[in-house]
Structure 1
């Protein structure tokens, strides 16, 4: 009898942790993802433009684009664009090959060269943007690769989006909990998602050096939209 009781007691003791483990495994979680979008008027722009040239020799076309790039930089600085807001986008020099009788490219025959030089700059006074682009094009630029609008400081906008995304995640969790007749326990995790940011560039334009515009370029900055997601998890209460 003592042996039986000892074995039974040992079995109960051995089984106790298994019961607790099963109960822990049944403790579930509820996870939701909240989304939010907030907007603010654009207050700055980034412009990329430059010059392209073709000629018979590499030195000829590189000198041509370098001279035009210098004129572009001078025009920007004369119009109040700070040095720290100007940067070289790209510089390229490539050969132009001839064609064989069958139409394929003949890499053994160089018929000339193409060169390009692009400049990217930031404009913080949007009231001057249209006139500035026209003037810089008149100084020698013959490519306009894009104008994108943004915000000088978007931290407050991003924080507002995060706050609203958390509120949306909590609202979704409450709706699901009520629908499933469960209660929410404590928050287990909050994961901050990447913010989306709108404001794409405009199409690329090419012009001849003689096509200096006579009018200001019409532009509408519009609003900048920040999209934020936040994923939250709760334990499911009793």
Structure 2
């Protein structure tokens, strides 16, 4: 991106702020297929109760569940005139927010043992995303200033007042994600690490020029 009517000296700078994640969001789902809708709802409700109890046993409070969803659909086998009605599939899904990353793996094993059919996604991020983005922007400004100073020195001039600052890329933290199927409560990978969360920011700045 460029300033449409250049003047003085312009410089582009980027900065990346990196932090260790301190928050995990886990998307779970439990589902059952039963001959009638009432039975499907009932069976799924029992699974959800067992899953919530497993989470409580690992110190996860009920308010850590951020959102939930419930669906019911007809289940068939085969196609065309050979299609056979199997019953109703009821699915209950919810997202759990965990502040203690050490319990993520054991909790996942516990909830799959308790009846969760799927662990759709585990996302690691940071609580204070705004602070991380702010640090990235500060680094971007510093990078632009360093580049501008080098250009000014090489050109035999000095930087004057800042006349233009444009925020080009104020991105959100990029989450680190894991996905796994939980049909048979598989063991979690040993030593799985969530990695790092990073934010990249870019700025375009302009300065007036001074001559000795």
How does the TM-score come out when normalised to structure 2?
0.79
What's 1:51 paired with?
A: 30
State the shift of 1:144 in Å.
0.6
Please say if residues 95 and 112 of structure 1, whose CA atoms lie closer than 8 Å, have aligned partners that are also in contact.
yes
**Distance of 1:91 and 1:179 partners within structure 2:** 65
Q: Could you report, residue by residue, the CA deviation over 1:70-90 in whole angstroms, capped at 9, with x for unpaired residues?
A: 221222123211233213342
Please say if residues 133 and 173 of structure 2, whose CA atoms lie closer than 8 Å, have aligned partners that are also in contact.
no
Q: Could you report, residue by residue, the CA deviation over 1:3-27 in whole angstroms, capped at 9, with x for unpaired residues?
A: xxxxxxxxxxxxxxxxxxxxxxx98
State the shift of 1:41 in Å.
1.9
2:204 corresponds to which of 223, 231, 237: 231
State the shift of 1:180 in Å.
5.5
Question: Which has more helix, going by share of residues?
Answer: 1
What's 1:163 paired with?
A: 138
**Structure 2 CA distance for partners of 1:176 and 1:89, relative to 1, 3 Å:** farther
What's 1:200 paired with?
A: 176
**Structure 2 CA distance for partners of 1:220 and 1:184, relative to 1, 3 Å:** same
State the shift of 1:66 in Å.
2.0
**Computing the radius of gyration over CA atoms, which structure comes out larger, 1 or 2?**
1
Secondary structure of the corresponding residue to residue 203 of structure 2: strand
Q: Could you report, residue by residue, the CA deviation over 1:126-171 in whole angstroms, capped at 9, with x for unpaired residues?
A: 2222111111111111101111112233444333322211111112
Q: Could you report, residue by residue, the CA deviation over 1:21-54 in whole angstroms, capped at 9, with x for unpaired residues?
A: xxxxx98244333111122222221111121222
Please say if residues 176 and 197 of structure 2, whose CA atoms lie closer than 8 Å, have aligned partners that are also in contact.
no
**Structure 2 CA distance for partners of 1:169 and 1:130, relative to 1, 3 Å:** same
Where in structure 2 are there 5+ consecutive unaligned residues? none
How does the TM-score come out when normalised to structure 1?
0.72
Where in structure 1 are there 5+ consecutive unaligned residues? 1-25
Secondary structure of the corresponding residue to residue 97 of structure 2: strand
Q: CA RMSD in A?
A: 2.9
Secondary structure of the corresponding residue to residue 39 of structure 2: helix
What's 1:148 paired with?
A: 123
Which stretch shows the higher mean deviation, 109-118 or 86-95? Answer: 109-118
**Distance of 1:49 and 1:118 partners within structure 2:** 6
**Distance of 2:143 and 2:109 partners within structure 1:** 45
